[in-house]
Amino acid sequence: MTTQHQYLDRYPITPDSKLLILGTIHPHDVESFQIPFFYGNKNSIWNLLSDAFPDALQKPITLKGVLTFLKSRQITVSDTIVQCRRQNPTALDQDLIPEILNHDLVQQVWQSKIERILCTSAFGKNNAFKLFYENILGQKITRAIRADRNMLLTPAIFGRTVLVKALYSPSGSSNISLSKHPLYLNNRDKYKGSSRPVYDFKVDYYREQFSM
């Protein structure tokens, strides 16, 4: 099964953007998406950001609402993979076999005002941070980067310092592992009365990461 990216050409990085959301590639079956856009499937990052910024991104989630939200906050979205094969018919990064990477990212980021790149997956073989930092930029992920989950790029790469950070995944499937993470455990008392404590923690986390 070969997946060709459907949104990279239609929605390139906007020149006035200051924050980039960077993923891998959308699931194969885009016909089932809630909206025809990055993370257009149900229970995606847009629900998290809507709950984090309810006045700026109202529900129900629509393409117009997402695009208005992004523009108002100088946020743009892109992915690291242009084309891939899938070992299994899932949306998991571990099942991807990248065939064409999005090397146009380098020039597009250079020509923008981006100060922060927030990757929606971290250091696994086909994760966004790994593909961008090592396979596209040609840098090496160190133990310190893995521990800190971020790296401040020098001006030699994009003409200015740019922070690249690995977010905790917006995917609902990440909630189980996040529920055992020290970052959540150290704050879980705050969510004692919640029926979905890990999700509410993630909403607060995303609000912090996306506040300029």
Give per-residue pLDDT as tens, 66-93.
999 999 999 999 999 999 988 877 667 7
Query: DSSP state, 133?
Result: I
| Residue 189, domain member (yes or no) | no
Backbone angles phi and psi of 116, in degrees to 5: -135, 135
Exposure string for 42-63, b = 16+ CB within 10 A, e = fewer = eebbbbbbbbbbeeebeeebee
Residue 211 in any domain: the answer is: no
pLDDT value of position 193: 87
- Our count of domains for the chain comes to 1
Is the per-residue pLDDT at 169 higher than 90? no
Confidence of residue 31 (pLDDT cuts 50, 70, 90): confident
**What pLDDT sits at residue 95?**
80
Q: What is the pLDDT of residues 106-162, one digit of tens each?
A: 999 999 999 999 999 998 888 999 999 999 999 999 999 999 999 999 999 999 999
SS3 of the chain: helix, strand, coil, percent, to 5: 35, 20, 45
At residue 37, the 3 state secondary structure works out as: coil
Tell me if 87 is assigned to some domain.
yes
Measure Cα distances from 150 to 48, 164, 209 in Å.
21, 5, 12
Q: What is the pLDDT of residue 61?
A: 94
Residue 107 is predicted with a pLDDT of: 96
pLDDT at 91: 67
| pLDDT score of 21 | 98
Asked if residue 207 belongs to a domain, the reply is: no
CATH code of 160's domain: 3.40.470.10
In a domain, 70, yes or no: yes
Q: How far apart are CA 56 and CA 65, in angstroms?
A: 9
Phi, psi dihedrals of residue 83, rounded to the nearest 5°: -150, 140
Is 186's pLDDT higher than 70? Answer: yes
pLDDT tens digits, one per residue of 32-63:
898 999 999 876 899 999 999 999 999 999 99
Of 18, 2, 172, nearest to 85 by C-alpha is 2
Domain contains 201: no
Residue 34 lies in a domain: yes
Range of the domain at 76: 2-173
Global pTM reads 0.94
Instruction: Note the Cα 212 to chain centre separation in Å.
Output: 16
Return the structure tokens found at 164.
């690249």
Exposed e or buried b per residue across 153-165, where buried means at least 16 C-beta atoms within 10 angstroms of its C-beta:
beeebbeeebebb
